[in-house]
Amino acid sequence: MPELPEVETVRRGLEPVLIGRRILRAEIRRPDLRWPFPPRMGARLEGARVDALRRRSKYLLADLDTGETLIAHLGMSGRMLVSGGTVGAFHHPLAAALPHDHVILDIEGGARITFNDARRFGAMDLWPTAELGAHRLLAGLGPEPLGNGFHADYLAARLRGRPGPVKALLLDQRLVAGLGNIYVCEALWRARLSPERPGRDVTGTELEALVAAIRAVLEEAITAGGSSLRDYRRADGELGYFQHAFAVYGREGAPCPRCGGAVARLVQSGRSSFHCPACQGASGARAGANTKS
């Protein structure tokens, strides 16, 4: 599933062809994806001007001049692709509809935005912009990890007394929004913390390192256009390439780039956690002091 860097990359790719432009035509080619589309979605979108394009957690939010916001989630395999317009330095010819193109938006200025989702785990909804915080998909989300509300003191307060493994806690969208399996594995490696470490046992100094690691790995992934493992594509159809910089994720048995130990995989709550036991143990911060940086 696309995580924060992938969704932010898509948002940045869509922004030049959407902001200040009207949706001239909205073709809704099926009644639902993961859930039913809102009533009259096509009619409510047609003629609306996109005033802002934001991201909250893993959701794209297009604020319309009608007072509604289009909420979009890419699900497991969703793509939002631009054709018929210029994305970056390249012009992309107008694309013909394909079998898994479920929503097609023709935009003022000649661009076409296509929501393609082979597995249909994606979602779209329309909601009053002024009441967006009450939407069931957005209510209760934690702070953005790149925002000012996410810091070591906040994380200390939320982890205090919680015996669950820090890896699982960081995947809880109520604690911090937008993190997923890939970037939590990579951030824990950078912070030299075991994914099995109880949240309540992570010290203040370790929390400072963890927050810094989370911010750094997300910013680097965004710069790289996200990570393409299976279905993810940027808005221009190109692949992200941060997967080439993974230190541990998906590298079971490979040497740790920091200490040379073998990367291991363990299963936590049905999810694979990749880590280096040699430098991410309970005292990983101390052990790591004797390893390569």
Sign of CA dihedral 41, 16, 182, 227: positive
Which residue among the candidates 58, 79, 192, 197 is catalytic per the annotation? 58
For residue 261, the 8-state DSSP code is: P
For residue 199, the 8-state DSSP code is: G
For residue 37, the 8-state DSSP code is: P
186 is catalytic: no
Which residue among the candidates 2, 5, 143, 145 is catalytic per the annotation? 2
2 is catalytic: yes
Tokens representing 32 are 């639902």
Which residue among the candidates 16, 257, 271, 277 is catalytic per the annotation? 271
Alpha carbon distances (Å) from 26 to 102, 114, 120, 169: 11, 10, 19, 39
68 is catalytic: no
Beta strands in the chain (DSSP E): 23-28, 50-56, 59-64, 68-73, 79-83, 85-87, 90-92, 101-107, 112-116, 123-128, 264-268, 271-275
16 is catalytic: no
Active site residues: 2-3, 58, 271
